[in-house]
Amino acid sequence: MSNQYLVEPCLDFVEQVASLGGDSVKKCYQCATCTVACTIAPDNSPFPRKEMIATSWGLKDRVLGSADIWMCHECGDCSELCPRGAQPADVLSAARSAAITEYATPKFLGKMVNDAKMLPLFLGIPAAWFALMAFITMTMGESMEKLFKGFGMHWHHHTDAPIASADFVSSWLVDVTFVPLLNLSILIFLIGLIKFVKDIHANAVLEGKTDKTDFNLVQYLVSVVKAIPTIMLHKKFNECGENKSRALAHQMVLFGFIGCFIVTAIFFVVLYIGGVAGPYDQINPVKILANIAGVGIVVGSFLMIKDRLAKSEPSSFKDWALLVLVFGLGATGMLTQGVRLLGYIDGLVGIAQVVSYFFYYIHLILIFCLFAYLPFSKMAHIVYRVAALGYAEYANRK
Amino acid sequence: MTKKIGMYICTGCGIGDVLKVDDMVAVVEDEGTTCKTHECLCSDAGVDFLKAEVAEGTNFLGIAACSRRVNFDIFKFENTMVDRINLREGVVWSHSREKYPVPTQEQIDSDDDSFDEIQMLAEDYLRMGMVKLEKIEIPEGYKTESLSKKILVLGGGVTGISSALDAAAAGYDVTIVEKEDAIGGYAAKLRKQMPVVEPFDALVNPVIDEKIKAVEEASNITVKTGTVVARIAGQPGEFTVTFKKPGETVPFDCPLPVPEEQKVDADGNELDVEAVQEIYNQINDGREDLLSLDPDGELYGAVILAAGWRPADLDGEEYAHLGAGDADVISNAQFEEIAAKGKITRPSDGKEAKNVVFVQSPGKGDDDSDFGYAGSVTSMVSLKQAKYVREDYEDGKAYVFYQHMRTPGLQEYFYKGIQQDNGIFLSKGDVVGVTKNGSEFTVDAENTLLGEKLQVKADLVVLAGGMVPATVDDPILNLAYRQGPGFRDNDIYDGYADSNFICFPYETQRTGIYAAGCVRRSMTMEESIEDATGAALKAIQCIESVDRGVAVHPRSGDMTYPDFFFQRCTQCKRCTEECPFGALDDDEKGTPKPNPARCRRCGTCMGACPERIVGFADYTIDSIGSMIKSVWVPSEDDYYEPPMRIIALVCENDAYPALDIAAMNRLEFSADVRFIPVRCLGSVNVIWIKDALSTGVDGIMLLGCNHGDDYQCHFVKGSEIAEVRTRKMGETLQSMALEPERVAMHQVAIDEYDKLPEIVNTFADTVTELGPNPFKGF
């Protein structure tokens, strides 16, 4: 018999999943009620029963390399019906979290990001960085302008607004931070993704979950594109029974981020190619989109926080970290703008400027966190889930 | 005491609406017996009415009302005999006027046959009741010559000790006999044990130590270690017990019966009585006679058999695929031994065993059987032992492959608790191979919960061997009974000591001997401790019943006992051999020696006796025979086409209540059938059948319990014996030029009441087709 069937349980993995909120996994006695309850599990080799035993046996590669854990939307139907008090939804969530850590490079960073003790350090880095950037912007404006002129560019983006965030931290410095950071994140993601897709394919072949033994990249990418409408409309998410309301909240946040991404891209072009600096008019259609997106993020994440507070069991650090981050991003963004607009009222300029800069400072720190820690945090699900759902489409998993 | 019979007809519950009560009173009074009616005999007024009758001297009451199965506690009076004539369930509820209308005056006036079949049925039952009362007597109970209230416990393990403590706490003197040099048994050889109290979720330290201490402190418990029983003679209440050291030979060693294969010669012909006796004498040379009592023996009232178990032997071809025979493939019992000594190591090289595979079932593919004599306890032992691995090694891994994970009752919490350990891995699966590579095993499993095929590495493989009851190897009891020293036909229970597991736990085939613990089935300690209490209570019940002169079980409180008229005994030994409980011994000539305290009052001896010399005070050959003969069998002199008459002898334990249930559900029976309850079909004597046929009865049916390996007979063998006798009866019938189909036996379970009407009515139709009994009218 070949060694592909040899299993060597990894006790650390069981421990890891338990610490990530999957501590109920060992209660499972394999009755498969969860699998029957799940509305979105495919007929062939359905989940989450097999993931439950594989996790409790510490079969790390089998669990983390399975696309199935990403098909679960954590509706909790299975957890609700489990006769033994195991929480398959939480276990799969913990497995996803472990998978993100597993596929992110470098690994130590992944572990650190999800460690609550490291939080001060991870907030401190951007805080110090943007303090430095603000210092440069506010004290070295003239010298920078001179320097930029040498290249035929302007340091200052002139504006008539009484308060402009660019006067606190220059748009140049913001973008010189975030553009490379985002690219670095994408690069890290790419490294992880290549291994991830390879693993989930191998796992699907081993467990007979795919009708394709050879992997065709082009076909796979076409499948990913095909999966996009399902993802955008939260079709699978809406099939879930328990706490359906989460789907709407999640959709609001997702669309909010997409909106913000579009707005940022447009203004990036407007600023650096069109040379028109912000703040822009409130009636500017792009600005309107930005505000709608901002409200979407705030309201969506607020609903999610409410939902999570109502849960009987405490949620893990990674769950809270992401929710607070998302809500904080939306809230500080909206507050920065709101307080900035107060500057148009006579007499409030002074105080409004300070408060607005403060919110903007927090906002920048949070954006930094979002980008820098993206491949390591729960936020990475946006990439792995899309890749896995695309694979399910490719593997014809129904 | 003079007998004064009174018949009382209740007109309630529809009886008065369906039947012509005045005619029935006339039937009774024609015989010169008092007959009174009441609108509701079970009411306070009715009972007061009956009490007044008793006060006026009536001591044999025939209550013609509802079934004997109901209101038996209401119709109970001091120093009286009550018989119940079943008019409600037996007549009016099971026969409707739609089917059997009252003949109109026109029909009666015409020359055609016209008769009221329901009325005829009721009047027959009244006649039968009357004659029965005439034939029976009030029993006086059987008293043993001496009475010991001491309880003997065989086995000093957790079960025996628990039984002893329970019986002692109830105030009885107890002796524990243990063949080892110390009590405690297997329970004292464990590292830890399964939980016995809430919350049932983790291993606990063995509970035996405290129990041993309690035994030492109890003033009324005597412990005999290094001792076994040489012989138990006599009967409950006065068992004479001879003790000896294990392996010792003493004159009072139990005599052994001649094995069946030695009772025939080389050609298979049965040897004569003298030749068998010769062989018997040879076998038992040097042993005291069966009937002689050890003058130095100790008297006990009842015995608790708690002899326990031994680990099953797991070597052999059968388990070769599991690596059986390798030094590091061990049984759960061997594993426990290692664990009790210290850290888990391998027997072959003493190295740490960190990866251990526990195999629950040798079966694979379609065969999902566990090891022989396994049970829920072996499932739980694997969980327990898996935990040992984790206790000893932080990086230890314990795998359990099972076909069945049995954790009944609250032990589910134990299962759940053990599962929580990160290093314990459970999966259903067929273990198809155990191969050794160097010092390491590779265990191959198929059809697992993790996929079709699975392979794990192991340092040690543990097989979940079962617990073989001690009664497989040794009768233990060494009863000086003619039927042998242990339990008869015990192989149908795979050697477990039991008579009827579901209905009568603790009861064995031998009255006064109560089994508990792993001689009954493989058990956990929690179960054994509970079992021990049950057996202790049964032992106490037995002693107290013997003291009051009544039966213990299942006819608890029955004062009657079999009475033998020995002058007519032909020493045929049928009673001795057929008694399901070994109640009868015999002397050298073969004259039976009854031991009434061993008896369960089933009457199998009464049914067996060709001389009809066995009877009970209220149940005799004559009483039932007279009832049969009192049925009016109309002949062609009476009617142009006389109705058929069928007698049904019905087991009162299951079949009779089933008839009542059918009646309660208003299921209808043929009005040609007269049902007579009997103690057990084993008590049915063929003379009743012959008498019935000779009086012109057209057919006889026997309704009794299912027999065979899954028998339901309360008396183990009764219905089986009846089946054999009925078959033989068929041959006799043919010699009388009668169709053998006129006599039939049917097996019914108590819950098959819905099938009864069809069984009865089909038989009635068969008899109708055969036509009237040619002896009718003679």
Give residue B648's region: left, alpha or beta (phi > 0; psi -120 to 50).
beta
Q: Is B118 helix (H, G, I), strand (E, B) or coil?
A: helix
Tokens of B187: 């329970």
| Statement to judge: residues B406 and B328 lie in one domain | yes
Q: Is residue B78 one of the residues assigned to a domain?
A: yes
CB-CB under 8 Å, A27 with B422: no
Bridge-based pairing of strands B5-10 and B60-65 is parallel
| Chain A residues inside the 8 Å CB shell of B449 | 30, 49-50, 53
Which of A7, A18, A27 is the closest to B454 by Cβ? Answer: A7
| Statement to judge: residues A185 and A325 lie in one domain | yes
Question: Which of B422, B426, B431, B443 best tests the A interface by mutation, with the highest count of A CBs <10 A?
Answer: B422
Q: Is residue B672 one of the residues assigned to a domain?
A: yes
Tokens of B583: 């109640």
**Cβ(B510)–Cβ(B477) below 8 Å:** yes
| Statement to judge: residues A148 and A61 lie in one domain | no
| Statement to judge: residues B778 and B629 lie in one domain | yes
CB-CB under 8 Å, A59 with B449: no
User: CB-based contact (8 Å) between A295 and chain B?
Assistant: no
Q: Is B649 helix (H, G, I), strand (E, B) or coil?
A: strand
Q: How far apart are CA B578 and CA B721, in angstroms?
A: 8
Low-confidence ranges of chain B (pLDDT < 70): 111, 499-501, 778
CA-nearest residue to A63 within chain B is B450
**Single residue among B572, B590, B614 that ends a domain in this structure:** B614
| Statement to judge: residues B628 and B707 lie in one domain | yes
CATH of the domain at A75: 1.10.1060.10
CB-CB under 8 Å, B427 with A3: no
A1 has a pLDDT exceeding 50: no
Q: Is residue B271 one of the residues assigned to a domain?
A: no
CB-CB under 8 Å, B449 with A30: yes
Q: Is residue B319 one of the residues assigned to a domain?
A: yes
CATH of the domain at B477: 3.50.50.60
CB-CB under 8 Å, B395 with A11: yes
| Statement to judge: residues A82 and A118 lie in one domain | no
Segment 120-159 of chain A within 8 Å of chain B by CB: none
Cα–Cα nearest to A318, from A130, A38, A104: A104
- pLDDT at position B499 is 64
**Single residue among B548, B579, B596 that ends a domain in this structure:** B548
- pLDDT at position B778 is 67
Q: Is residue B266 one of the residues assigned to a domain?
A: no
| Backbone φ and ψ of A263, nearest 5° | -60, -45
Which of B420, B423, B455 is the closest to A7 by Cβ? Answer: B455
Is residue B550 within a helix (H) or strand (E), and if so which, with residue range? Answer: none
Q: How far apart are CA B428 and CA B358, in angstroms?
A: 12
CATH of the domain at B598: 3.30.70.20
Q: Among A297-311, A383-397, B212-226, which range has the highest average pLDDT?
A: B212-226
Q: How far apart are CA B554 and CA B559, in angstroms?
A: 13
| Chain A residues inside the 8 Å CB shell of B405 | 29
| Statement to judge: residues B295 and B335 lie in one domain | no
Which of B423, B444, B453 is the closest to A11 by Cβ? Answer: B423
What is the residue-wise DSSP string for B362-379? ---TT----STT--HHHH
Looking up tokens 């489409």 gives A393
**Cβ(B41)–Cβ(B12) below 8 Å:** yes
Is residue B513 within a helix (H) or strand (E), and if so which, with residue range? Answer: strand B513-515
| Statement to judge: residues B77 and B182 lie in one domain | no
| Statement to judge: residues A94 and A138 lie in one domain | no
| Statement to judge: residues A77 and A156 lie in one domain | no
pTM score of the predicted model: 0.86
Partners of B204 in the β-ladder: B193
CATH of the domain at B23: 3.40.50
Q: How far apart are CA A242 and CA A346, in angstroms?
A: 52
**Cβ(B468)–Cβ(B495) below 8 Å:** yes
Secondary structure letter of residue A63 according to DSSP? H
**Cβ(A89)–Cβ(A59) below 8 Å:** no
**Number of structural domains in chain B:** 5
User: CB-based contact (8 Å) between A18 and chain B?
Assistant: yes
User: CB-based contact (8 Å) between A289 and chain B?
Assistant: no
CA-nearest residue to B395 within chain A is A11
| Statement to judge: residues B329 and B451 lie in one domain | yes
Give the total residue count for chain B. 778
Bridge-based pairing of strands B440-448 and B451-458 is antiparallel
- pLDDT at position A278 is 76
| Statement to judge: residues B541 and B649 lie in one domain | no
| Statement to judge: residues A75 and A206 lie in one domain | no
CA-nearest residue to A12 within chain B is B422
| Statement to judge: residues B66 and B210 lie in one domain | no
pLDDT tens, residue by residue, A227-246: 999 888 888 888 876 667 78
How close A386 comes to chain B (CA, Å)? 27
Partners of B585 in the β-ladder: B593
- pLDDT at position A243 is 64
Cα–Cα nearest to A99, from A66, A73, A71, A53: A66
- pLDDT at position A348 is 85
CB-CB under 8 Å, A53 with B416: no
**A&B contacts, CB < 8 Å:** 61
Which of A5, A8, A58 is the closest to B453 by Cβ? Answer: A5
**Single residue among B465, B481, B499 that ends a domain in this structure:** B465
What's the mean pLDDT in A216-224?
Answer: 92
Q: How far apart are CA B558 and CA B552, in angstroms?
A: 8
| Statement to judge: residues B531 and B628 lie in one domain | no
| Chain B residues inside the 8 Å CB shell of A8 | 456-457
Domain extent, residue B604, equals: 563-614
Domain extent, residue A45, equals: 3-103
CB-CB under 8 Å, A26 with B450: no
- pLDDT at position B501 is 62
A126 has a pLDDT exceeding 90: yes
| Chain A residues inside the 8 Å CB shell of B411 | none
Tokens of B148: 């010991």
Secondary structure letter of residue B428 according to DSSP? E
CB-CB under 8 Å, A5 with B416: no
CB-CB under 8 Å, A54 with B455: no
Least confident of A161-170, A295-304, B76-85, B273-282: A161-170
| Statement to judge: residues A215 and A250 lie in one domain | yes
| Statement to judge: residues A318 and A255 lie in one domain | yes
Is residue A302 within a helix (H) or strand (E), and if so which, with residue range? Answer: helix A285-310
| Statement to judge: residues B486 and B590 lie in one domain | no
In chain A, the percentage of residues whose pLDDT exceeds 90 is: 55
CB-CB under 8 Å, A11 with B453: no
How close A52 comes to chain B (CA, Å)? 10
**Number of structural domains in chain A:** 2
| Statement to judge: residues B298 and B320 lie in one domain | no
Q: Is B309 helix (H, G, I), strand (E, B) or coil?
A: strand
Cα–Cα nearest to B688, from B722, B724, B731, B652: B722
| Statement to judge: residues B67 and B86 lie in one domain | yes
How close B406 comes to chain A (CA, Å)? 12
Cα–Cα nearest to A51, from A62, A37, A40, A38: A62
How close B399 comes to chain A (CA, Å)? 9
Which of A1, A57, A207 is the closest to B444 by Cβ? Answer: A1
pLDDT tens, residue by residue, A323-348: 999 999 999 999 999 998 888 888 88
Tokens of B50: 């009956």
Is residue B397 within a helix (H) or strand (E), and if so which, with residue range? Answer: strand B397-402
CB-CB under 8 Å, A26 with B425: no
Q: How far apart are CA A363 and CA A86, in angstroms?
A: 39
Q: How far apart are CA B356 and CA B461, in angstroms?
A: 6
Question: Which of B402, B449, B453 best tests the A interface by mutation, with the highest count of A CBs <10 A?
Answer: B449
| Statement to judge: residues A84 and A206 lie in one domain | no
Q: Is residue B583 one of the residues assigned to a domain?
A: yes
| Statement to judge: residues A99 and A127 lie in one domain | no
Cis before residue B740, ω within 30 degrees of 0? no
Interface predicted TM-score (ipTM) of this complex, two decimals = 0.82
CA-nearest residue to A207 within chain B is B451
CA-nearest residue to A16 within chain B is B422
User: CB-based contact (8 Å) between A46 and chain B?
Assistant: no
| Statement to judge: residues A153 and A277 lie in one domain | yes
**Single residue among A103, A138, A165 that ends a domain in this structure:** A103
What is the residue-wise DSSP string for B227-289? -EEEEEEEETTEEEEEEE-TT---TTSPP-PPPGGGGB-TTSPBPPHHHHHHHHHHHTTTSPP
Cα–Cα nearest to B229, from B478, B520, B515, B524: B478
User: CB-based contact (8 Å) between A234 and chain B?
Assistant: no
| Statement to judge: residues A44 and A139 lie in one domain | no
A131 has a pLDDT exceeding 50: yes
Secondary structure letter of residue B313 according to DSSP? P
CA-nearest residue to B412 within chain A is A84
Q: Is residue B278 one of the residues assigned to a domain?
A: no
Q: How far apart are CA A102 and CA A108, in angstroms?
A: 10
